[in-house]
Amino acid sequence: PDGDIGVTGLATMGANLARNLARHDCRVVVHNRTRARTDALVAAYGDEGAFVPTGSVAEFVAALARPRKVVVMVQAGAPTDAVVEEVALLLEAGDVLVDGGNARYTDTIRRTRALAERGVHFVGCGISGGEEGALLGPSIMPGGSDEAYAIVGPLLESIAAVVDGTPCCAHVGTDGAGHFVKMVHNGIEYADMQLIAEAYDLLRARLGLSPAEIGEVFAGWNAGDLESYLVEITAEVLRHVDAATGRPFVDVVLDEAEQKGTGRWTVHSALDLGVPVSGIAEAVFARALSGHTAQREAARAVLPGPAEDPAPVADRDAFVEAVRRALYASKVVAYAQGFDQIAAGAREHGWDIDLGALATIWRGGCIIRARFLDRIRQAYADEPDLTTLLTHGYFRDAVADCLEGWRTVVVEAARAGIPAPGFATALAYYDGLRAERLPAALVQGLRDLFGAHTYRRVDREGVFHTVWSEDRREVQAG
């Protein structure tokens, strides 16, 4: 057998990844549950490189040179379990099985352990970039052992996007590390998109700009600090006109945002880790709110908005610039929170994740790719132990420049009754972090009164309780 690598699961992502590998001189053994898809792939793209079509899992595995390298590209959850089990039964010690789907990282940890018992390496590999990325160069986040990475890493690096000569693929850490960072990547993706949507909504509601005009604004922003794939495609979507009705495309799409789960998982994990990823959480909740149509309908009928219509915006250009600043600053907060979560996850699971290296492989290929990520890479290069991105000199100054505009936009949104949960929560987080004193002291007092939950003091070491129900004397607790 002389197959360099096998890909099973030939839906769009799997097929494009197989083509990408073939275009990079790999002999790619391909397999799909239904044979027709395998044949269709080879018929359409067989001239792009060397494909070995196979009809059964046994034939698929038998066509691979050892140590065998298999990439599974099927739906996360039960379908992945089924395929991993079926393929793994035929693999031998030293072979490597890569899961390139959006698996939940806890499943990846479980699968890694199960396969390790048989000496088979499991690599839980985050792959971002959508259809086009899979074909032309995605960002690849593999998690697994050093031995496994030594076997599949070079192949993965060869098909990844490249920025400044560096492939957007790096060994993230052991077992679930790759899928964990891909999960947080998607959480940041949710936050980014929510912030972009709020910017659009404010420009439309307060300035009366058309979607196409707002598309122009985004295209302009994409030439500056906000340059990113998501801002670029926002311009494209906003300028698009529905062929059937001649109306702006965004006006004919139902305003109910769906989700497949990675954003929700990010928030679950952040809650367990105690990391306030409020920007990501608000984005997940905003999608949920949008889908609660019955409540929205009931509320729309009876809930009043602001007492007076807000005065028209006096200086349109200044408002556009303020929205740009709110977007930029809120985005910095969302990324800072996401990187915090990755650092906390790494501590919790014993992963040695290099945050600077991660920012480096997110510069290209992935959905959140942005000019911005090179700044994050630089921030961690300057200060490897940075406690939050917000205090790094570059981001501190950049956010400080945005601050007044950001506050204006949050105030304007509240006055006009336009929901801007992403901008508002990001600003509250920023102000919370920099506050000299937080009202958490009062929360501690309340907890102590109703449940003797104790508190610590600003002036003395130790844990205390006030005997509220008696003479309110203070006693040392514990």
C-beta of 72 vs 320, nearer to ligand 6PG? 72
Rounded Cα distance between 264 and 104, Å, is: 11
Q: Which residues contact 263 (CB under 8 A, 6 or more apart)?
A: 186, 187, 189, 190, 280, 283, 284, 287
C-beta of 38 vs 228, nearer to ligand 6PG? 228
Residues that bind ligand 6PG (CB under 6 A): 102, 128-130, 186, 189, 259-260, 262-263, 366-367
The catalytically annotated residue of 157, 189, 198, 282 is 189
The catalytically annotated residue of 182, 198, 282, 331 is 182
141 marked ligand binding residue: no
75 marked ligand binding residue: yes
Token digits of residue 48: 């792009």
Q: In whole angstroms, how close is the CB of 125 to ligand 6PG at the nearest point?
A: 12
Rounded Cα distance between 269 and 397, Å, is: 31
Q: In whole angstroms, how close is the CB of 33 to ligand 6PG at the nearest point?
A: 21
C-beta of 61 vs 73, nearer to ligand 6PG? 73
128 marked ligand binding residue: yes
460 marked ligand binding residue: no
Taking each helix axis from N to C end, the angle separating 12-23 and 146-159, rounded to the nearest 10 degrees, works out to 80
The angle subtended at Cα 395 by Cα 386 and Cα 262, nearest 5°, is 75
Helix (H) or strand (E) holding 166: strand 166-167
C-beta of 129 vs 421, nearer to ligand 6PG? 129
Q: In whole angstroms, how close is the CB of 130 to ligand 6PG at the nearest point?
A: 5
185 marked ligand binding residue: yes
Contact between 190 and 263 under an 8 Å Cβ cutoff? The reply is: yes
139 marked ligand binding residue: no
114 phi-psi bin (left φ>0, alpha ψ -120 to 50, beta other): alpha
Q: Report helix, strand or coil for 366.
A: coil
Q: In whole angstroms, how close is the CB of 102 to ligand 6PG at the nearest point?
A: 5
Q: In whole angstroms, how close is the CB of 359 to ligand 6PG at the nearest point?
A: 16
331 among known catalytic residues? no
351 phi-psi bin (left φ>0, alpha ψ -120 to 50, beta other): beta
Amino acid at 275: V
The angle subtended at Cα 224 by Cα 220 and Cα 225, nearest 5°, is 135
341 marked ligand binding residue: no
C-beta of 61 vs 125, nearer to ligand 6PG? 125
Rounded Cα distance between 97 and 138, Å, is: 19
Which residue ranges are tagged as binding site for substrate? 102, 128-130, 185-186, 190, 260, 287, 447, 453
Binding-site entries: 9-14, 32-34, 74-76, 102, 128-130, 185-186, 190, 260, 287, 447, 453
**Catalytically active residues, by annotation:** 182, 189
Summarize the annotated binding site for NADP(+) as residue ranges: 9-14, 32-34, 74-76, 102
